[in-house]
Structure 1
Amino acid sequence: MPVRIPDNLPAAGILESENIFVMSESRAANQDIRPMRVLILNLMPNKIETETQLLRLLGNTPLQVDVDLLRIHDKESKHTSIDHMNAFYRDFNDVKHKNYDGLIITGAPLGQIDFEDVTYWDHIREIIDWSQQHVTSVLFLCWAAHAGLFHLYNLQRKLLSTKRSGVYCHQRTDTPHPLLRGFDEEFYAPHSRFAEMDINELQQHPDLEVLAHSDEAGAYLVLSKTNRNLFVIGHPEYHRNTLKDEYLRDIDQGLDPEIPRNYFRNNDPQQKPVARWHSHGSLLISNWLNYYVYQLTPYDLTDMSGITPWESEV
């Protein structure tokens, strides 16, 4: 089934060239179907790149998904034209009276800044608080995962001495869990961040469950016991060249970055990166949409009262 996006969104052409089914708003208006409604709060600098990455994953699922794009403020973006933002993005005041099946909050290049010093931190907190009553399930990515764990559970992150960048091997929990259906015992995922969470604190928290971790990179998938919040401490949405682009950008800025781990063939930046996470990235988003959005969300989005946790599986 397709992901429905605004007419003329730049991501449409890219996704169609990859044989990913997308549908314009005008075409979808003629269909009689209850699609999943997903809101994306895009905090990344290059909005179009991140839109495309997330829509690529959403468009690979068997569900029809209607997507709204949300911005945190109306200030001009350095990397995305104001015309694009005004044409395709909504302000929070435009959506806060609505309910959504899912919300995705992206990462942000704010890993070395205290949360309270982020200029729009109050807006982030407001949207997270709103989501707990108006959204069936919230997917927090990377920086947003740290921010959500801090705001909702008062868990502090730890800053790293160097940026953790690369593609790391992860192990899933042995506990049967809907989110992990189809997952291999070991799988790869990209990381690009300046902080980490204490995995022992996450494992001991009564309201959280660690579903996957890496011996090198730490916790990766953390789910709230209510199923409403999924924290993905990494970037399953990244394109093959995203870590390379970040690495070259950091070099251009004179930051002397380390070569991303387990990423370039033979660990040589002159060779092509090896993408080994796309299948599990797609599976993760498909499982989230199916088991934590579609299976739990009410048909009538005006009633969000009947959402219950999954029971343990045999």
Structure 2
Amino acid sequence: MARPPRVRRSRGRDPLGLRRALSDRLLPALVAAMALLAAMALAGAQGAAELTSRWEAGAAAAVTVQLPPGVASGGRLERALAALEALPEVAEAQLMSEAQMQALLRPWLGEAPAVALPLVIELRLAELPASPEALAGRIAAAVPGGVVESHGVWVARLVALARSLQAVALAALVLVAGIAAAVVAVAVRAGIAARRAAIALLHDMGATDADIAGRFAGRAGLLVGTGALLGTLLAAPVLAGFADLAAPLLGQVPAGSLAGLPWESVPWGALALLPLLGAALGWLTAQATVRRWLRRLP
């Protein structure tokens, strides 16, 4: 049995007229805008993850216990430290030195404060507690007369906020990918409508569905990949600028100039994958769209 003729894929030939049917201007421009949004979503997810790690680590020193100066005598301080370290939530209890206290109070009391300074014990927690209020109550019960300053409530809320932002960023990334697939599908359908007669003729002459869909997929993949690459290149300086704005949250100093922007904070690995993922998305979407249309032909 003779094999049906195949649509030859040479550089110079375009029997389906796809260079006119699938514009090399509008589709890449739309994809570039979506790639920019996808890059920002990726960077947002990474930044939220870094903030979560930083704030969770900050929870390790989120509790302090203030004791009156007289506690230092009679072994009461040692007993208080032992009682605090015996709590399962506490990894370490350490007395803040007098030099550290003076450094903290210098902006308000000056170099030599005339008042007796309280004793402050810093607690390093093993993990962020589920109920900071309950932990504060157990600490106060372990050290009678101590004043517990717990910032764990705010740390817990900040961690929850960062995790929510990370989930929102990932959801936005999925949404952008879905919109990009829809845009490619619409563009491919428009190309099919514009070249319907040529496609039907080639199909009647024996061209296989794989040949026709492959030509559409190759064209769509090239255009989408190009647009994603352009959007990724545009996203790099934008993300570096946002990283500079977020530098105070991460304990860094803003650069204030383009040359000094924190380029190392840009998620280069994820950005490098965007053009490849975009091209793959365009190829798969075009394949599915064309094959679905071809199945309807008599």
TM-score (norm 2): 0.25
Q: Which structure has the highest strand share of the two?
A: 1
The structure whose Rg is larger is 2
Q: Which has the higher contact order (CA 8 A, sep 6+)?
A: 2
TM-score (norm 1): 0.24
Q: Which structure has the highest helix share of the two?
A: 2
